[in-house]
Structure 1
Amino acid sequence: MCRFGERQHRLAAAMADSGSWPEDSPWIREAVAALPRHLFAPDRLWHWDGRAYTPVDRAADPERWADQVYAGPDQPAVTQVSGGLPTSSLSCPSMVADILDSLDPEPGHRVLELGTGTGWNAALLAWRAGPGRVISLEVDEEIARAAERRPTGATVVVADGTAGWPQGAPFDRIIATYAVERIPWAWVAQTRPGGRIVAPWGRLGHVALTVAEDGRSAAGWIQGLATFIPSRGAAPARSWREVRGSEPAPEQSRAARDPRPLHDDAHLLFGLRVLLPDVRIATHSGPRGMTAWLHDGVASWAVLTARPDAPPSVRGAGPRVLADEVSAAWDRWLALGSPQLYDFGMTVTPRAQHVWCRTPAADASWAV
């Protein structure tokens, strides 16, 4: 029999050691203890073996299944795979704690969750807000029905979260559990003045927006750095290999700068995401050096390499010279004073939304 208690204790201790329990929201640790993750995990999970996602079935290997559920503070448990890619997960505990802390729900609040998934997040919200105070929308009917059978304490509805849930508005809090490139205005319109919206934005980080007293805008700060599964309606992103294609690689040349901060500096990476929103950057570092893969999802790509025994190099192809664009945006980030991701914020109105640096009135702002 799986020793869930021991795994829960180890995970809670690891969360404490890494500083992942929010000091301002002690209720989160209490709720997680009352609603352990394994109660919300489906019988089949998926493990990445380095080449593909392979199933881990509770009936066949309960210990390995439990290890997946309680893998660590920063490890999600993939619960659904489609087309070789994860499409739903039991989010990593540190991310859940961080985003719930940003939402700041209070007892009695009416909460709308967008993306039920396994139902664990909805259950934590209901533990805090109270019975009958949480509505959770899930576009995948099979996932929604499974969540209904778990002890969420929330009302689960099969619906696309993009439009929100106008028949239940206004809400005190709205939270999305999937990433969006733009905040739907419906979410703002369905949140009461002074209420809060928390959503993963883009490919990095999540934002917490407070609705203005007149209800005509919402603004707030980037809260943390994390990667979330995109919304179901988002067009599937092309991979670096798809953009790279099979053409012979061009000759490499010396890079203009050492690319290693792209791997080491999360604040730089977030700044580049703001300044170059269509450029995707992935990195890997190991004993033989560091590599950064860049692409624009269309036709341009580049590879930056830093080896211990050689100067940094670059090779790439396509209509855009992505290495030069990244270098120019890097210079722009430095000129702004190397802002941290927490220095960025967002303003949303019915007709536009933009990201700004340090103050909404700043000259440094970018349309989303």
Structure 2
Amino acid sequence: MNLVKQLPSIPTPYSSSSPCTKKSHHIFNLNISCSFSNNNNSAPPFSSSPFTEKHSFERYQRDSWLYNNPTASLCSNQPDDNSSTSIRENDIALQLPELKKLLQVLRNKRGEESGNGNGKRKLGNVFLVGTGPGDPELLTLKAMRVIESADLLLYDRLVSNDVLELVKGDARLLYVGKTAGYHSRTQEEIHELLLSFAEVGATVVRLKGGDPLVFGRGGEEMDFLQQQGIQVKVIPGITAASGIAAELGIPLTHRGVANSVRFLTGHSRKGGTDPLFVAEHAADPDSTLVVYMGLSTLPALARKLMLNGLPSNIPAVAVERGTTPQQRMVFAELKDLMDEVTSAGLVSPTLIIIGKVIALSPFWPETSKEAIPILETRQSS
């Protein structure tokens, strides 16, 4: 049994329209006529993504202060499977002059301030801020205050455009997102950027989708900066597992049904296969398994889970762009999930949840509930 659904749009006070009509963050008024299409010349589904994708028009509008010739950069950076390295290097080469200029401005400003005091250099703060799974209304009040106070914000691919619209007009935005096959900057370059701006006294905000310390490399950035003497403050965000499960009415734990929950990454470091090795320990029918970034490894992971004792008919769901108006979801038994995901054409970002608790969701097919022993378990608990 399976179910493919797209939730209706829920009106919010935030608009997902083009940022051209909103407040400026050092944005040039560009008249761009070049096309933003893939090589197959077909528009991707749900192209009005709330997220800042690697080649989106919105991204370059926000980052245009970095480029001497932003129009050329926009038109030359078309998606190309064979050019992701050259795109990244080209971006960095274009951005370096402006980044150095901004560093010098901040350095001079801090120098003047210290000249009026005791002359002691004051280091800036770095905030690692979780922006939640996509819905801007899921931001914490503390996150909003920090975003509004920043001098420079480094943001990831899964930070929604609506969240970026909360940034004050004189702050600088810098895209450092990663996606499969394209890293706009390496992790080491991100470390150095955070350090360089903090050393000249800037308030630097590192925006990450979900929670910064759940599969977001926030721990690596925090460890690096603290070793350099930079104070790091973490503002937690609602991780995708909690936000998306709540949106679908799925309790991650439930008395008598699931006594634990486990978060698993579908990607391994250096592109290896190690996420699959934990499957034998994760195949617990009394636990809920949440797989982040797991589309590519789902077929192998599902097979291994079933091979290690997880029932093939256990409920599962895959959710694309969770908590946003573009959310799509596929419900199916584990053995059928990959086929249904492929049929529906789900793309990243997609979260996968596996476990008996999914049958508690109002979106789980009623006909499937009769085949799942969860109902008997729930009644007897």
Q: What range describes the TM-score normalised by the shorter chain of this pair?
A: 0.3 to 0.5
Which one has the bigger strand percentage?
A: 1
Which one has the bigger helix percentage?
A: 2
User: Which has the larger Rg?
Assistant: 2
- Highest relative contact order (Cα 8 Å, sep 6+), 1 or 2? 2
TM-score (norm 2): 0.33
